[in-house]
Structure 1
Amino acid sequence: MVAAAKGRGVIFGEEGFGRQIEQFRTELFAYCYRMLGSVHDAEDVVQETCLRAWRARESYDEKRGSVRTWLYRIATNACLTALKSRGGRALPSGLVAESDPLAPLVPGEHAWLQPVPDSLLGDPAATVIGRSSLRLAFASALQHLSARQRGALILRDVLSFSASETAEILDATVASVNSSLQRARARLKETGVRQEPAEPSAAEQRVWVERYLKAFELADVEALKRLITEDVLMEMPPMLNWFTGRGNYGLFMDWVFDVAGKDWLLRETTANGGQPGFAAYQRAGDGYRLHTLQILTVTAEGISRNSVFQDPEIFEAFGLPSAIS
């Protein structure tokens, strides 16, 4: 996308202004992802933001605010417009009641929250992107808020814009922004959104993940159960099914290996600012066929959440081959 834009000379026609816009592209993408919950939609809105900024460059007034604030205002307007027509996204655990682990899988006609590959985020530690605010659990929690509440919460609590800057970005008054922020915080508490414990160190997390992958490849359900927390949550968009509990997890994985076989090939990846994950390839003839992308939440007590995705658009975003020989 960047290369295409550069080839057309859209945002690079005047190098100085183009560079000012481009340096914010990654953090704008992270912001739009939080707002929209979709990798593809976020990429489109960021591209639209850059185009709008370039076309309106002569109207930019540095006395009214920084280039960064101006760009966030353009991006926010584009996100709010997109949300009016497309609505929010969710995960099954925030949409329907918990199901029996052995109940038939039921596909849901819904726009699902998507994970974002870390390859699109650069280095969150080196930017204002913020790792924890990109986690799937937080991105899912944001879907319980109205569009403007979501914007106020992200701009103030995540990106640390001042109340006046946020008001400028949202084209609102400071009083309105403060009110939206209070309602957003209260709404998150009311929904009872599951709060994940603090993450372990990178080395400790690595141990949990390596053991889980090994147990999965061996189809060792008892080993998997020893690596998950007592209240582990599993969900599987686009299926509506989701459940909690170590025992239920074991029942479901027994069923998976009985139905789909015990010969798997796994490829590791990371998503949402460092969450570990893997692509699971199921044996198919002489090779392996892509089955799911699984994103793990790891705590000091074990793996507390497994979000399992089966969506060609997500597979494409992560650059996963459909088959491996």
Structure 2
Amino acid sequence: MAKSGADRAREDVLRAAARFRPELLAHCYRMLGSAHDAEDAVQETLLRAWRHADAFEGRSSLRHWLYRIATRACLTALERRAGAPRLEPLPDLMLAGPDGGDPAAVALRRDGVRLALVVALRRLPPRQRAVLLLRDVLAWRASETAEALGVSVPAVNSALQRARERLGRLPDGGGEEGSAPLDPRRRELAERYARAFEEADAEALLGVVRADVGFAMPPEPLRLSGAAEVVAFLAERVLPGGPDRFRTVLVSANGGRPAVAGYLRREDGVHRPYAVSVLEVAKDGIAEVTAFRDPSLFPLFGLPPVPDGPAAGPSGAGPSEAA
């Protein structure tokens, strides 16, 4: 049976959209702050694009059209949320994609998903957040942003001004700027941090963190500052139990940041997923630790349910599955 024009249009759009999937995921993550929610928003974006493919007339680029759909999907998700939105790390594994000859897209994805940036954006109301991202991160014109959000240009300019005033400036994210993912120096520091947990060695932790290290554990309102305070907390709350209470795996998150996935030994003696800690690393030590106690993150990083088990498959369905 011959395919209709609408069916062919849907197939063409989904095939072409595949190369934009990673950057759409990064955009949705900046909007939502959650890897799980960002993945859901991208799936919704592709589904809407599939449904309305015959309405795409090429007056704007496919990329802009998809971003418009994704932004509106994120705004809808934020409106439907109950309570405070969750914050999660974004595995670099989820950002891999066929970028071809567009290194700028890779750079924007990597730089635009830093935890410091995502945390700062969460201080903005959803629509101001969308305007700031489209205008200052993606460099869209005011008219393009207004069309994407269904508002006037003056409304966009007003929202952008309020967002800039509220944030002051976008954070630089700390750490070593321009470093490749898990470069040798940062890998060494991350490995020493992970080994200190496996050996329950508080002194080793003191030797790898900076004097002004910060520590946070979302969604708890905990915020610690300084090596003495951070290591004392970990020594009292996390390290008791001796060596081999934790087993660790080094992964990468939020645009090349080292992250330590920790498996905790349970009462039956089996190590199971416990937490993922994203590290900001400077030349002289670990500057920031953000720990996420959420076992559901492990499959997103392709990690098995037990150490040394078979790895999980990459997260996320392909564009063709959105239909």
Give TM class, smaller chain. Answer: 0.7 to 0.9
Partner of 2:33: 37
Q: Distance in 2 between matches of 1:199 and 1:222?
A: 28
Mark the CA change 1:182 to 1:300 in structure 2 (over 3 Å): closer, same or farther.
farther
Deviation at 1:119, TM superposition (A): 1.2
Residue 296 of structure 2 is aligned to residue 313 of structure 1: yes
Partner of 1:178: 157
Preserved CA contact (<8 Å) 1:238 1:310: no
2:87 to 110, 113, 131: 113
Give the letter for the 1:76 counterpart: T
With structure 2 as the length reference, what TM-score do the two structures score? 0.81
Preserved CA contact (<8 Å) 2:273 2:305: yes
1:50 to 46, 49, 70: 46
Partner of 1:86: 81
**SS state of the match for residue 290, structure 2?**
strand
Q: How high is the sequence identity, in percent, across the aligned residues?
A: 44
Q: Which runs of 5+ in 2 are unaligned?
A: 1-5, 309-323
Q: Distance in 2 between matches of 1:250 and 1:54?
A: 51
Q: Distance in 2 between matches of 1:258 and 1:16?
A: 54
Mark the CA change 1:40 to 1:133 in structure 2 (over 3 Å): closer, same or farther.
same
Mark the CA change 1:61 to 1:182 in structure 2 (over 3 Å): closer, same or farther.
same
Mark the CA change 1:18 to 1:320 in structure 2 (over 3 Å): closer, same or farther.
closer
Deviation at 1:34, TM superposition (A): 0.9
Preserved CA contact (<8 Å) 1:200 1:300: no
Partner of 1:224: 205
Q: How many pairs were matched up?
A: 293
2:229 to 239, 248, 257: 248
Mark the CA change 1:11 to 1:165 in structure 2 (over 3 Å): closer, same or farther.
farther
Deviation at 1:35, TM superposition (A): 0.5
Q: Which runs of 5+ in 1 are unaligned?
A: 1-9, 88-108
In the TM superposition, 1:200-211 aligns within 5 A as 201=179, 202-211=183-192
Deviation at 1:198, TM superposition (A): 4.3
2:139 to 144, 152, 160: 160
Mark the CA change 1:84 to 1:221 in structure 2 (over 3 Å): closer, same or farther.
same
Preserved CA contact (<8 Å) 1:277 1:294: yes
Cα deviations by residue, 1:270-299 (Å, 9 ceiling, x for unpaired)? 111111111112334544232221111112
**SS state of the match for residue 87, structure 2?**
coil
Q: Distance in 2 between matches of 1:250 and 1:303?
A: 12
Deviation at 1:211, TM superposition (A): 2.5
**RMSD (Å), alpha carbons:** 2.7
User: Which stretch shifts more, 242-251 or 213-222?
Assistant: 213-222
Preserved CA contact (<8 Å) 2:273 2:295: no
Deviation at 1:193, TM superposition (A): 7.2
Give the letter for the 1:303 counterpart: I
Partner of 2:249: 267
Mark the CA change 1:259 to 1:186 in structure 2 (over 3 Å): closer, same or farther.
same
Q: Distance in 2 between matches of 1:12 and 1:253?
A: 57
Preserved CA contact (<8 Å) 2:251 2:261: yes
Preserved CA contact (<8 Å) 1:130 1:158: no
Partner of 1:6: none
**SS state of the match for residue 304, structure 2?**
coil
**SS state of the match for residue 303, structure 1?**
strand
1:283 to 260, 265, 284: 265
Q: Distance in 1 between matches of 2:47 and 2:237?
A: 47
Mark the CA change 1:223 to 1:24 in structure 2 (over 3 Å): closer, same or farther.
same
Partner of 1:127: 105
Deviation at 1:210, TM superposition (A): 2.5
**SS state of the match for residue 109, structure 2?**
coil
Deviation at 1:231, TM superposition (A): 2.1
Partner of 1:199: 177
Give the letter for the 2:21 counterpart: R
Give the letter for the 1:294 counterpart: S
Mark the CA change 1:15 to 1:58 in structure 2 (over 3 Å): closer, same or farther.
closer
Mark the CA change 1:233 to 1:286 in structure 2 (over 3 Å): closer, same or farther.
same
Partner of 2:314: none
Q: Distance in 1 between matches of 2:24 and 2:66?
A: 8
Q: Distance in 2 between matches of 1:158 and 1:210?
A: 33
Deviation at 1:25, TM superposition (A): 1.6
